[in-house]
Amino acid sequence: EDQVTQSPEALRLQEGESSSLNCSYTVSGLRGLFWYRQDPGKGPEFLFTLYSAGEEKEKERLKATLTKKESFLHITAPKPEDSATYLCAVCSGGGADGLTFGKGTHLIIQP
């Protein structure tokens, strides 16, 4: 059974204070690891897909990295508008063709 664990559950940062969110996973054959952003009351918004260990992707202040056991979402010099819940999900070759999600990290950036 695929499992995804995200940490921390919540994180409060000052504007400009860089940090990282963690996503640990166990899967039977990783087909892809996904990061989404979710604002309150809205649907998840796609950010990145990572396919293999060593891969990195960047978008504005966000950078996602992947190892064989975990992924990190690095946020550099965050702004208040980066406040959201960040979700990590995996798709594997061993299960149904949906995504298995973690519970998310609730990120608050204070001005």
Partner 1 sequence: DADVTQTPRNRITKTGKRIMLECSQTKGHDRMYWYRQDPGLGLQLIYYSFDVKDINKGEISDGYSVSRQAQAKFSLSLESAIPNQTALYFCATSPWGTDTQYFGPGTRLTVL
How large is the C-alpha radius of gyration of the chain? 13
What gap in Å lies between CA 18 and CA 14, rounded to an integer?
9
What gap in Å lies between CA 52 and CA 85, rounded to an integer?
24
The distance of closest approach from Cβ of residue 65 to partner 1 in the complex, given in angstroms and rounded to an integer, is: 18
DSSP state, residue 28: S
Applying CB under 8 A, the residues found at the interface with partner 1 are 4, 31-32, 34, 36, 41-46, 49, 87, 89, 91, 96-104
The distance of closest approach from Cβ of residue 15 to partner 1 in the complex, given in angstroms and rounded to an integer, is: 27
Quote the tokens at residue 20: 């990282």
Nearer Cβ to partner 1, position 34 or 66?
A: 34
The distance of closest approach from Cβ of residue 90 to partner 1 in the complex, given in angstroms and rounded to an integer, is: 9
Instruction: Please check whether residue 89 is in contact with residue 34, taking contact to mean a CB–CB distance below 8 angstroms.
Output: yes
The distance of closest approach from Cβ of residue 72 to partner 1 in the complex, given in angstroms and rounded to an integer, is: 18
Nearer Cβ to partner 1, position 17 or 46?
A: 46
Nearer Cβ to partner 1, position 50 or 75?
A: 50
Nearer Cβ to partner 1, position 81 or 97?
A: 97
Backbone dihedral angles phi then psi of residue 82, each to the nearest 5 degrees: -80, -5
